[in-house]
Chain A
């Protein structure tokens, strides 16, 4: 009637293990690891391992929890905080929470946790051990090869860095040289100034015309865009009501764009087609506010090469360009004239045009390549620059619906497989692995915003592999993406000792 009979029988089990061909039998209460065997001496009362109390030994594994730390019930589910030791001969020994003893689910591969639940557990330890050894072996091979590759990467990065450094100083030198030459030319110019005045004016005029043509082209493109934007019903006409969705166009500033006012803007017509609209556009372009969201970095890129480097201004200050004259700086800030700045110098120099063009073009581009290089050098490519090779590369993974694209240190994006526009899943943020393994995780942030949600962001988990590839992507939480990426750059030096699964004995 009293229930503990079963449990007393189960108290001492014969542990059996096979190692290197010889057999050991070790007697100890169920669920106790060998390392703690000495605390369970059936000849003596048992003291809870936390020392809180001492109980008769027949209360060990009697299926009632007497010790606060659960140590009296290593082999039963009686204690809420207990743990059970699976020997798992042939595989790794492990502890499981005692709540998993006899719960009908096989947790230990040797099946010892289900001794009284009716669950029939196969001993899968050998099989698991074999698989694990195989996996470990494979992993070791990958690690080994990966690590070799990593060494090469480090070498290459070192070389690359040296090259870049020397290129950087070269550029610095050449800039100095250019400046000297410009200075020299300026002197030449000054001497030549008087006779060349006429030529200069001719050139200036030509340039102005060219600029005007460019502007008109731009204006047309912009206008076409606006027309499509305004034409809500896509009937090929912009009408009064469509225009009224843009209250900012209100000419008298009373906050309402009345029918009459709108009609006025359309030159008195109720609706206009795109050609007519062209004529009206000048009346509204000052005030018009586009409906489209602010352009993403990617669209910026097409229009404005400068913005590839958002920290431009910082760089400029930090990079010691003080030797550039003030004019130059101002010009770069000025949107339209940016590209012209060296040309303005050119205007003043009409002698030996061709030669000087080239010279000055170089001078103009110099700051870009200079900054690009500086930027690249400034990235944290890992302790030995082993990640440097990823810079300016992109890796793709195609899933059922999307093509995912990871450009390390730059951006992550997603594009529908069957047409549709690309969505930014984030731009390079930082290394964000745990403190002891910072270079295992990359974080890309500030991607396209989500409705009622955050901006998209991507976490890239790096694992050791021979190949450099995106192996999986998922969106575990809305607009928070997770990418798995293999690269030799994270392969650790394989330990010299043989990584064998060792049995408990």
Chain B
């Protein structure tokens, strides 16, 4: 749902009244710029090339799993501890912490799926200026330079990446307070500690004046951050020689390729509830994944900055400012400097902990990142189908009518969603007694149509002693605390609200237990959950979120802000698993997220607007999420705020049908927009888009299984599959679904045609609607009408489909399959098929699934079992095989169980399409079909 809208005016938030007038776009004044964020300003003021850090090589210790050595800041003599790890799978981990911090600094828990397994490092050589470590046997080395301290990762003669090459490493050490509040004579203190801050620089370069503003207290608008620990920020720079394209660090409403931040604000990572966000800028949004990918034709790498505090990322490039002419001049003159991209990460607290994923191929980086934070959770099949949402379906009668509407208009739908108004006064886990008096009856009505429901459960809990959830949280003392030790309270939908401390395992366990059927009254197994507002959103908090000096046990909210939403979804997903005693897969949608959130469900891009630019931006936003592990991504179809034109709505359905999470949603103040409300022609167009989604569900399911298994993204920029094709590096108006479908949705108003780029020299692509064959490595202009959804299947692929579209995906469970075999110019093709029961963990616990490889070669199509020890049976059979780019055979023979039979077929000479009529074998069987 649901930003922070004008409807909250009733809550009498004084400053909120300001928003009422500014309904058109984000109120930027509510959110900090780098200049307004004391640590960012401090850090950004540092000059490059003056690093005070020196590696003390004599402190080097080498163990089986790591190398440690100390760094010293020559300005203040503070010692840091550097840890270097060589990790399995071609990764390097670099950790820097204070050698002796006054108290522990926060290290992010629960995000890594395990302690990353290490491999031995060895010293290749060393002298007084540095040490060379081996990162394996491919001439890959890690070079530690002593003064100034610097790390370089090289492969042969080539520098892959350098750390602190610009000297922007900065580590604000913990210190006792020296201003008015802690009246310790400076000299005594200096004597008492080993620190010698005679002329300190801030953060380690300039003058470190402890009385300078923003170190021990910071005020933004009317909010004062008490900063009891003083300055704690950290920063490190990375140089990527030979790199012009970097991606990732979602969530930003911006293009796929990250832009230079010179002269503007850095990209900001700080989970915020941004009301009516603006496009094409680096402002923070609802979620944060501090993972950046670099790519050039030779190599793809990743940097995972493992920190959950407020983070800013500066990007600069020596080619960014150059015109095409300038680049040409460089080329002609041969004087071109190597292109290079520099990255600088700045975080407010915690430690420096970086995973460097060395690729070299895009798929390797995805595998490496997945080995750290896990893969996409494998959702119930129905979650991949169509979702109908609105803030709000008013009552049970409304839900009944919408459910009925889908049948009347013969449009499939798997889920109907309920936003906050379904609750009793925004008390989550409850139902409005007059609007939803009989939830079980309502859920049964949906079950009768084999449909499901999602109800919202937000993490802000109404402070109301008569509300079970609140009183348990209070009595168990599980709420986040404010700086004074009392339960933290803020305003959100229910008015005054508390926020459970999800960082605590006992809070999460308790929260999960609230989803048990006997706790969550009116819930059934076809009710799933949506976590909104989990940044967390606090209407009267600084930047509409929680105060940084709020307290989670030993830690400040400052240290772990970006983790809050991650934990909410984790605990909720766990609750859905537990309520079924571990049998059923959960489905949980979240708005806030962090690295690793892919393990718990789906993410959507929050409160977008019914504008063409918002439709366009949904593609790069989901692509960047997919690059960093979160494949299950979608945008509100139609746009949340405002009312779409009919054309925009139709185009959005067409685009959304080919994005992983496919849900229509709308703001309360917009007119109704169920698919049948725009006249029969538009109803038919929307139906057709949804039908295409349902037909492809077998392919989507297989892609999700693959993502779950391997960590490969589902929605891929073209360069992921064509890493050497530089023309694809900045492309974000089209993408690949898996490897084999290329999608270029129409996102222009009044479009008459689109130009799709079909990659691959010597390859071919087939229009999935007409079966027309097109050559690769060309820009193809295609005229479009309002019914067009330009999608192409890769020559060389086999895609499973189900062409009998029914009310819901569950109704299609046992339906027969159609295989679309698109031949490569070499007359080969291959694809995969994955089938299981669609909703339980039995694929994992009992190996109950079918996983097969389909191969076409030598005029023979073969189905082969990929999982010999698996066992699952389905009544589904093969209805039809369509072979694109085929020649007319004389005879088609099916071989199965040692017997042969002849198959009927039709051949379309004009399009070279061979259709095998009703081969009829069970889809789980071994067979081959021979074309003669």
Contacts and interface: CB of A to CB of B under 8 A. Distances in A.
Interface of A: 1-4, 62-64, 77-78, 80, 97, 99-100, 103-105, 117, 400-401, 450-454, 474-480
B804 A477 contact: no
Contact of B7 (A97, A451, A475): A451
Contact of A4 (B668, B807, B897, B920): B920
Contacts of B880: 64
A191 B897 CA distance: 127
A100 B408 CA distance: 12
15 contacts: A2-B901, A3-B918, A63-B918, A99-B804, A99-B806, A100-B806, A100-B807, A103-B811, A104-B450, A452-B669, A454-B671, A476-B394, A476-B672, A477-B671, A479-B669
Interface string B380-404: 0000000000000011011000000
Given A4-B918, A64-B918, A451-B7, A478 B669 contact: yes
B807 A476 contact: no
Contacts of B806: 77, 99-100, 103
A3 B9 CA distance: 64
B138 interface: no
Given A400-B434, A474-B394, A480-B671, A80 B804 contact: yes
B805 A1 contact: no
Contacts of B815: 77
Q: Which secondary structure characterizes the binding site on chain A?
A: loop
B920 A2 contact: yes
A77 B805 CA distance: 9
Contact of A105 (B6, B670, B811, B901): B811
Given A63-B816, A105-B448, 15 more contacts: A2-B920, A3-B918, A3-B920, A99-B811, A103-B807, A104-B450, A105-B807, A105-B811, A450-B669, A452-B23, A453-B670, A454-B671, A474-B398, A478-B671, A480-B671
B810 interface: yes
A452 B9 CA distance: 13
Nearest to B811: A103
Nearest to A472: B397
Interface of B: 6-7, 9, 20, 23, 394-395, 397-398, 410, 434, 448-450, 668-672, 803-807, 810-812, 814-816, 877, 879-880, 896-897, 899, 901, 917-918, 920-921
A99 B668 contact: no
Contact of A475 (B394, B410, B434): B394
A453 B669 contact: yes
Contacts of B397: 474
Nearest to B879: A64
A1 B815 CA distance: 17
Contacts of B917: 64
B810 A1 contact: no
Contacts of A97: 410
Given A3-B877, A80-B804, A104 B921 contact: no
A80 to B, nearest CB: 7
A480 B877 CA distance: 49
Contacts of B816: 63
Nearest to B448: A105
A330 B9 CA distance: 46
B403 to A, nearest CB: 12
A489 B395 CA distance: 31
A99 B815 CA distance: 11
Contacts of A401: 434
A451 B807 CA distance: 37
Contacts of A62: 918
A454 B642 CA distance: 12
A475 B435 CA distance: 12
A1 B897 contact: yes
Contacts of A451: 6-7, 9, 20, 669
A475 B390 CA distance: 14
A451 B6 CA distance: 8
Contact of B811 (A1, A104, A450, A475): A104
Nearest to B671: A477
List the 4 closest A-B pairs by CB distance, nearest first.
A103-B811, A3-B920, A477-B672, A64-B918
Contacts of B896: 1
Contacts of A450: 669
Contacts of A104: 450, 810-811
A77 B920 contact: no
Nearest to B5: A452
Nearest to B906: A66
A70 B920 CA distance: 19
B3 to A, nearest CB: 13
A80 B691 CA distance: 10
Contacts of B811: 99, 103-105
B813 to A, nearest CB: 8
